[in-house]
Amino acid sequence: MSGQSDISRLGNFTLLLVACLTIMVGCVIVPGLPDIARRLGVPHAASWLVTLPSLGVVIFGTLAGKLIQRKGLYRALCIGLFLYGLLGAAGAFLHGVVMVFTDRLLLGGATAIVMAAGTGLISSFHDGDARLKMIAKQGMSIELGGVVFLSLGGVLAGLAWFWPFALYLFAWLMLVLVWLYVPVPPTRKDPDDDEETRRPPSNAIRRIYAAACGSMIVFFTAVIVLPYQLHALGLGESETGYFLSFVSLVAVGAAAIMPRVIRRLGEYNTLLMAFTAYGVAHGLFSIAANLPLMVAGAILMGSGFGLSVPLVNHMTVEQSHAAVRGRNLAYLSMALFTGQFLSAFTEFIPGSRSLVFLVAATVAGVMGVVLWVSHRSHRRQTSAVTSPFR
């Protein structure tokens, strides 16, 4: 059985717009980052302005989950959108390490609420194949949001250093759209709800979290290191931007076909394909001495992201009881942004950039093998328990 509840096309479109905010949180200030960091009084910690929201998601993800369980998905999303716009835009008026960094961390907490509640609402209004298609579209929206908001951030940074912060106020526009077009989902009280809320995430959910974290480590390692590799090949800043945008567009295409791939291969085999693509991409980056090899790696890298990140969202929803779905999605946000934050430490790997790519390829390979082995083991245990001949 698959279908959707009472939500209009405009309501669905609004929830897809909300998804754009997750990648927007760090990228809108990237084009003007050096000048913005200097104006905010943190000139020697510019990269932290981008990565601290990720750490904020990790720190406040548990609180976001508790807020969703207490207030419900709809009210939590409204609270998250209000805080996102307030904390994001406020960054332009702050100065100094303590004030600026605190604001960026709290912005990450608002992002955790928005991510988990937005996906939770999609899962409330859709089920079965319709839900899978919506989550695939959500993955496409996230990547397209990165392309659009990076471009807008660059244009606004050219006007004045503080204008990119105005983009965070899009969250308030989306809040209005949520009020207008997204209905409050029906509450279905189940006798097992209280017991489910006390039960910790299952081993299957933990495997999904591990896959999410691994995917982000491998993907953002490439995002961090690729500009240096591309500059070594003679590409300038604008060409590097186009190259990274191309990776995002490939991810959009991969997310679009993800439901068909799952129907043919199954969820875990699709994850294995994603990590295989990651591994081969990093292998190509490590040996690339020309642009064609880099482009081939970019196609594989975008494919890995587009197949894995929307899929772990879908798998988390499928493996979660309705009573704890918001909590588990908040934990998934923590896993995703933990991976993004940890990727920053790959800069400290000694040796050449080729070695960094090889380490990332190894991580992708190990993650793929671990997921495959653990899933096979789980299937054997399940078969043994359900078999009438045991």
Please name which of 147, 153, 149 lies closest in space to residue 251, comparing C-alpha atoms.
147
Global confidence as pTM = 0.82
Residue 318 has a pLDDT of 87
The per-residue pLDDT for range 36-76, each reduced to its tens digit, is 889 999 988 887 888 889 899 999 988 998 999 899 999 99
Region 235-240 average pLDDT: 76
Residue 378 has a pLDDT of 63
Q: Where are the domains of the chain?
A: 10-184, 201-383
User: Does residue 80 register a pLDDT over 70?
Assistant: yes
Residue 1 has a pLDDT of 41
CATH fold of 10-184 reads Growth Hormone; Chain: A; (1.20.1250)
Q: What are phi and psi of 265, to 5 degrees?
A: -105, -20
- Residue 328: burial class (beta carbons within 10 Å; 0-12, 13-18, 19+): buried
**Helix 73-90 and helix 97-125, axial crossing angle in degrees, nearest 10:** 150
In angstroms, the Cα distances linking 308 to 83, 139, 215, 262 are 29, 10, 7, 11
Percent of the chain with pLDDT over 90: 44
Determine the Cα–Cα distance for residues 91 and 104; give it in Å rounded to an integer: 8
Q: Do domains 10-184 and 201-383 have the same CATH topology?
A: yes
The per-residue pLDDT for range 163-201, each reduced to its tens digit, is 999 999 999 999 999 999 999 987 665 555 555 566 666
Determine the Cα–Cα distance for residues 116 and 109; give it in Å rounded to an integer: 11
Residue 321 has a pLDDT of 80
CATH number of 201-383: 1.20.1250.20
DSSP sequence for 272-309: HHHHHHHHHHHHHHHH--SHHHHHHHHHHHHHHHHHHH
Residue 190 has a pLDDT of 57
Any idea which of 214-223, 234-243, 263-272 has the lowest mean pLDDT?
234-243
User: Does residue 4 register a pLDDT over 60?
Assistant: no
